[in-house]
Structure 1
Amino acid sequence: MTFRQLELFLALARTPHVRKVAEQHFLTQAAVSSALKELENEVGIPLFDRLNRRLVLNENGRALSERLGPIMQQFHDTIGLFKGERMSGHMHIGASATIADYVLPQILYHFRDLYPDVAITTTSANSSEITQSVENGKLDMGFVEGEVQSTVVMSAPIGEEEMVIVSSDADFARKNPYKMASLLSKRWLLREPGSGTRDTFLQGLGDQAVNLNVFLEFDHTESVKRVLQNPDTLSCMSPYAIEPELFHKKLFIVKVKDLHFPRRFYRLLHRDKYETRPMETFSQMIQAILNK
């Protein structure tokens, strides 16, 4: 049994595609398949089921992955203590819309300016999709709004905010704080299902959510902001997303007296993923911005 066999097994457990794992490790597909077969012969049991030419991690493989992953992580951490890690390489980062559009851009520029040898690829999607991409190994790490439910992804809070209800009607927003019940019949503009912004708002509404008049749903925050210029429309949004509109008085905060919509931002990392120094440094930078 070799260290390489174990590394390739964990890579296949995260991404059960021989071609992709071979590319990641600069090997041929035959070499990866051979290493897996040798490992299975060593342990005496199959670790994957072969279904229609696809690898599917079985119960044996899951058990080994759960025990081996932390050990391999500890090994890499220990080696890193002695040899250090250069700030170089490539990171694939995913973020949900609010973070991707309104928090990440300047951080990406600052990070690349400081560490030009680290290449970064970014993906923007809703919180649910980012979580799935971290689970299946398509992303090195993700940043989302709201808690996630996953057995293989570790989530750590890195910041928090309170979402606000907004309108383009200055006179309407200037009035005394409203009871939420009086606003439910307005034309509400929401993000699509799976969005962290949407989930936080509906969870905050509680039982009142069933009476909410969802007038339109959008995949993008910018679309919500544009349609908010129409009369009688409301939305609940992140202050990060509407900072310019608030400053230029294109949108106004509508105060409610009986509800709040706090939420946290989380960093997502696969439990078997080795956190490199660039990943750790980038996470620290985004955490610092979110906690200003």
Structure 2
Amino acid sequence: MLDTQLLVFKTVAEQKSFSGAARVLHMTQPAISIHIQNLEDYFGTRLLDRNNRHVSLTEAGRVLYHYAVELSRLYDEARKAVAEVTGKVKGKLVIGATLTIGEYLLPRIAGYFKQRYPEVDITLEIANTQEIVRRVLGHELDLGLVEGRVEHPDLIQQDIYQDELVVIVPPQHPWAERKEITLEDLRREPVILREKGSGTRQVAEEGLKKAGLDLCALKIAMELGSTQAIKEAVEAGLGVAIISRLAIKKESRNNLLREVRLQGVDFKRSLRVAYSRHKFRSPSAEAFLRLLLSKEAFSLLD
């Protein structure tokens, strides 16, 4: 029980709130409060100062936090050492992914990983790039798969897949039989974009800007937080859109959508795995990372 209480205490200290710790540990807030109260009773002193929004460590809390971090590191090393000796990869693995990766790339890879390591319980969580990075840095996620590059000294990023954005139109659109369109063509059409904070939008915006066209010069018809919603809006003739080629494989095969290139614009991008420099990677996280960095993982997409 003391081990659990120390883990809860360490997480509250790092998240600076009971609600944040509850989210990271997948516990209720009252349960977090009970663990902290029991730990304070055990040591006979207050460990945390509470106010309406945040908590902070008392002097005694700062001393205990140092030992909680060290004990957590030792437990992690012990688990990893035992896993290496036994060859067993098991436990929880929490992976975050942006919408495009989470819908069109990750499910097959996660399914393949689960077949190889059936004792690993995988949780997949979907959000935009900014939110995934925030949660990786907050140690809420073991690994994050993102589309846009984010600079942060505590973040390690590695390329895992080369993707490309394309302009999509319905089959009846005048561009449907064209291989390329110009920037001026794009300026005249209503355009449907992903929401701000999306990696797809970031890459589209950067590619257009390098070619000399700002987003504000486009006729933006709507901004949507779902790739599927964008595809359906394009199919309905509400505008054209710029999305990942990964996302339209099925629609291209069934002639529901057509893709065209934008002349003079480089929409190529690297999809990346991101993880915290300071978070211990469990054997299951290490195994998933190895799979992502291998060619084996992406042969599943062909």
Q: TM-score, normalised by structure 2?
A: 0.75
Verify the 8 A CA contact 1:22 1:32 in the aligned structure 2.
no
Question: 202, 208, 211: which is aligned to 2:213?
Answer: 208
Where 1:172 maps in the other structure, the secondary structure is: coil
Separation (CA, whole Å) in 2 of partners of 1:70 and 1:268? 24
One-letter amino acid matched to 1:181:
E
Q: Does 1:263 align with 2:266?
A: no
Q: Which runs of 5+ in 1 are unaligned?
A: 41-47
Question: Between the two proteins, what is the percent identity of the paired residues?
Answer: 25
Q: Does 1:279 align with 2:281?
A: no
Q: Does 1:169 align with 2:158?
A: no
**1:145/1:226 Cα in 2 relative to 1: closer, same or farther (>3 Å)?**
same
Q: How many aligned residue pairs are there?
A: 280
Paired position in structure 2 for 1:29: 36
One-letter amino acid matched to 1:247:
R
**1:213/1:274 Cα in 2 relative to 1: closer, same or farther (>3 Å)?**
same
**1:273/1:214 Cα in 2 relative to 1: closer, same or farther (>3 Å)?**
same
Question: 106, 113, 116: which is aligned to 2:115?
Answer: 113
Separation (CA, whole Å) in 1 of partners of 2:69 and 2:151? 20
Q: TM-score, normalised by structure 1?
A: 0.78
Q: Does 1:196 align with 2:199?
A: yes
CA deviations 1:216-246 (Å, max 9, x no partner) are 1111111111111234721111111000111
**1:69/1:156 Cα in 2 relative to 1: closer, same or farther (>3 Å)?**
farther
Separation (CA, whole Å) in 2 of partners of 1:35 and 1:77? 26
CA deviations 1:125-175 (Å, max 9, x no partner) are 111111122222322221111112334333222222111111113652323
Paired position in structure 1 for 2:129: 127
Separation (CA, whole Å) in 1 of partners of 2:227 and 2:43? 45
Q: Which runs of 5+ in 2 are unaligned?
A: none
Paired position in structure 1 for 2:148: 146
Paired position in structure 2 for 1:92: 94
One-letter amino acid matched to 1:229:
E
Please say which of residues 82-91 and 210-219 is displaced more in the overlay. 82-91
Paired position in structure 1 for 2:54: 54
- CA shift at 1:7, angstroms? 7.0
Verify the 8 A CA contact 1:96 1:144 in the aligned structure 2.
yes
**1:145/1:116 Cα in 2 relative to 1: closer, same or farther (>3 Å)?**
same
Say what the alpha-carbon RMSD is for the aligned residues: 3.9
- CA shift at 1:15, angstroms? 2.8
CA deviations 1:26-57 (Å, max 9, x no partner) are 9932355579998x9xxxxxxx8754473247
Separation (CA, whole Å) in 1 of partners of 2:141 and 2:79? 24
Paired position in structure 2 for 1:240: 246
Separation (CA, whole Å) in 1 of partners of 2:70 and 2:247? 38
